[in-house]
Amino acid sequence: EIVLTQSPATLSLSPGERATLSCRASQSVSSFLVWYKQKPGQAPRLLIYDASNRATGIPARFSGSGSGTDFTLSISSLEPEDFAVYYCQQRSNWPPTFGGGTKVEIK
Amino acid sequence: EVQLVESGGAVVQPGESLRLSCAASGFRFDDYSMHWVRQAPGKGLEWVSLINWDGGTMYYADSVKGRFTISRDNSRNSLYLQMNSLTTEDTALYYCAKAATTSPRYYFDYWGHGTLVTVSS
């Protein structure tokens, strides 16, 4: 199965700063890479699908890029509600697998 | 509005069984595959099982194969997970998740709030 490695494990930033999160796949997933956001006590929420497509209702400050094995989720200017854990997931190969998550915390 | 509401979580002993349910509303339930995804306390997400739109195809993670059975009742817009021979490794919050598309390359656009399964002696 494809292993997804997210880095860093924790990102400490202030509101208004730019966040850059990485997800690396153990083999190519083409563009079949998805990002979710999870706040404490809440279910994951779909952010980005197929590497760069924002899901319905997701603000434009969220953007995704990459293909093959290296992907990036960027948040252009952090809002208070953006401090959360972010997971990537590949949907290229069976079974679907998730990365270990990156926690974006307030500095 | 899409809603997924899980139920059935409990505290059980190792070796016991449990049946989880997920009630769906707000979309054409029988158009989409449905999944269970779990999250152990303080850990990441693990895909567990899927059932296709008509219940004719099921897949399982290796960690639960042979012990868990997924099913659905499209007349009741409901998804189920029968969990047998539970171990402490199965302790987790279990989410019901809707496939985002009808493509067999799965990702999830709606999730329930989860139901907690604790396996402890």
Interval B3-33: pLDDT, tens: 999 999 999 999 999 999 999 999 999 999 9
Three-class secondary structure of residue A42 per DSSP: coil
- Cis, peptide link before residue A95, omega less than 30° from 0: yes
Distance in angstroms (rounded) separating the CA atoms of residues A75 and A36: 13
- Find, in chain B, the residue whose alpha carbon is nearest to that of A93: B105
Q: Is A45 on the interface with B (CB under 8 A)?
A: yes
Q: Is A58 on the interface with B (CB under 8 A)?
A: no
Contacts of B62 (CB under 8 A, 6+ apart): none
Distance in angstroms (rounded) separating the CA atoms of residues A96 and A91: 5
| High-pLDDT (> 70) share of chain B, % | 100
| Contact between A64 and A52 (Cβ < 8 Å) | yes
Q: Is pLDDT above 90 for B102?
A: no
pLDDT score for B56: 93
Distance in angstroms (rounded) separating the CA atoms of residues A103 and B5: 26
Q: Residue A20 pairs with which residues in a beta bridge? A: A74
Q: Is pLDDT above 90 for B105?
A: no
- Whether A49 sits inside 8 A of B107 (CB atoms) is yes
Contacts of B21 (CB under 8 A, 6+ apart): B6, B7, B8, B78, B79, B80
Distance in angstroms (rounded) separating the CA atoms of residues A24 and A7: 8
Q: Is A8 on the interface with B (CB under 8 A)?
A: no
Interval B78-93: pLDDT, tens: 999 999 999 999 999 9
Option in B61, B100, B111 nearest A49 (CB): B100
Residue B47 CB: number of other CB atoms within 10 A? 22
What is the arithmetic mean of pLDDT over B97-121? 93
